[in-house]
Structure 1
Amino acid sequence: MRRAAVPALLVLVTLVAAALLLTPRLMPPTEHSREVRFVREMIQHHTQAVDMALQVREQSADATLRTVALDILLSQQEQIGQMRGWLTLWHRPWGGPGMSADHARMMGMATQAEVNRIGTLLPAQAEVQFLQLMTRHHQGALTMVAPVLEGRVQPAVEALARQIQSTQAAEIRLMTTLLADRGAKPLPAPAGMGAGEHQH
């Protein structure tokens, strides 16, 4: 029995080795690829979210809001590290042209003046400002992940896009409720958001 098993095992090992040799290696994305553009722009987008989350945690004593801000802060910092790691593995610089001011606005990003204002308002006003800006910011992120979710990108990048979509859609619903609790409404959706994306 053992003698018969040895040749069979050798055949199996040979077949696995041949399959590995024939499997095309995943080539690093090029400078102008969908992956590199998405990662660089999402790093820029996430960085602003982290800034806003830090500011509202300094202003607000509301436990629920502080937890939401902390979740955004920790998850998006982690994802920034993950995306920078990919750029390093792909031999691409972290920096790049990034989004223009107009494009960033279409993707839900706030102006720097709007972000800075969070830290100058009274706590109740700062909470509303944060929730409105972050809701619009998350809506922009849903627009940004849409092309990546069409496929034709590296699986890890698509998986991150799906994670962002799921997490931020849930946070939009929660932040809309928190705004209503404060007698406030979300800002108009960003210009880049399609009608079908509003209900995520």
Structure 2
Amino acid sequence: MLFAAAATVAAANGGGASAGSGAPAPTEPRTPGLRSPDAGFARDMAVHHQQAVEMSFIVRDRTQDEAVRTLAYDIANTQANQRGMLLGWLDLWGLPKVVADEPPMAWMRAASGGGDDPAGHDSHGGHGGRAADPASGALMPGMATKEELERLGTASGRDAEVLFLQLMTDHHKGGVAMAEGCAQQCGTPVEKALAQGMVDAQRSELTLMADMLKQRGAAPRG
């Protein structure tokens, strides 16, 4: 899969001049830098996705509701696969998966040219995540806190279903904002395409989760 992705990147960045046309020879694709949006998004979204996978496995053990269990399975499967792609690209680029002195979301702040933390910024039609609170274990927009994960792990039945749907709604909203940032700012075509795919899929799941909450007499959190 990584070799196919690399070939796609090369084809997209290398130009299409034919031999003897007089046009410049194709150049090697640019490898993203350590602090580029491409690398920053890959590192941060890998962490963001890991929590979604964790929450999905928790709720599958806390309810017998087939609709919620199916949604949880789909989210876990999709985001685990996407996480593998993001980490694989970092390996392909020869970049670390963790940068000790890099705050979460630094790539979005740098790319936007501002110092404001975008964690709680809602600039995409209501899909921004809740502000991150590192002290509580929420490192990036929409991520659940340690306390919320503990509550999910002890809830059961309808209570677990509602809490999971609310937490995952927040998580998706934060993920959409992050993915939109990469779709706009990343320079690697396959990563931009993956990010846009995340936006489209998670927006669809947001609609589904709103309906599922309504069926349970609940609603997304503010």
CA distance in 2, matches of 1:26, 1:165: 25
Question: Is the aligned partner of 1:126 residue 2:160?
Answer: yes
What does the per-residue CA deviation read over 1:113-158, in whole Å, with 9 as the maximum and x for residues that have no partner? 2012111012210111000000010000111012222255110110
2:203 paired residue among 142, 147, 169: 169
C-alpha contact 1:135 1:172 (8 A) present in aligned 2:
yes
Structure 1 stretch 95-104 or stretch 109-118: which is displaced more?
A: 95-104
Aligned partner of residue 146 in structure 1, secondary structure: helix
**How high is the TM-score relative to the length of structure 1?**
0.80
Residue identity matched to 1:36: A
The structure in which a higher percent of residues are helix is: 1
1:192 matched residue in structure 2: none
Aligned partner of residue 61 in structure 2, secondary structure: helix
Aligned length: 175
Aligned partner of residue 96 in structure 2, secondary structure: coil
* Deviation of the 1:105 alpha carbon: 5.9
* Deviation of the 1:107 alpha carbon: 1.1
Residue identity matched to 1:186: P
1:44 matched residue in structure 2: 47
Residue identity matched to 1:148: C
Residue identity matched to 1:71: D
Q: 1:186 to 1:152 in 2, by over 3 A?
A: closer
C-alpha contact 2:169 2:209 (8 A) present in aligned 1:
yes
What does the per-residue CA deviation read over 1:16-41, in whole Å, with 9 as the maximum and x for residues that have no partner? 48889711211210001010011111
Question: Is the aligned partner of 1:111 residue 2:145?
Answer: yes
Q: 1:26 to 1:54 in 2, by over 3 A?
A: same
CA distance in 2, matches of 1:178, 1:59: 17
Question: Is the aligned partner of 1:136 residue 2:139?
Answer: no
C-alpha contact 1:40 1:98 (8 A) present in aligned 2:
no
- Alignment map for 1:6-25 (pairs within 5 Å): 15-16=18-19, 22-25=25-28
* Deviation of the 1:99 alpha carbon: 2.1
Instruction: Give the share of equivalent positions with the same residue, in percent.
Output: 38
Question: Is the aligned partner of 1:99 residue 2:104?
Answer: yes
CA distance in 1, matches of 2:199, 2:61: 27
CA distance in 1, matches of 2:88, 2:22: 29
CA distance in 2, matches of 1:178, 1:82: 30
Structure of greater Rg: 1
Contiguous gaps of at least 5 residues in structure 2:
1-17, 106-131
Aligned partner of residue 220 in structure 2, secondary structure: coil
CA distance in 1, matches of 2:202, 2:46: 15
Residue identity matched to 2:104: M
CA distance in 1, matches of 2:62, 2:154: 9
Question: Is the aligned partner of 1:56 residue 2:59?
Answer: yes
Contiguous gaps of at least 5 residues in structure 1:
1-14, 189-200
* Deviation of the 1:64 alpha carbon: 0.9
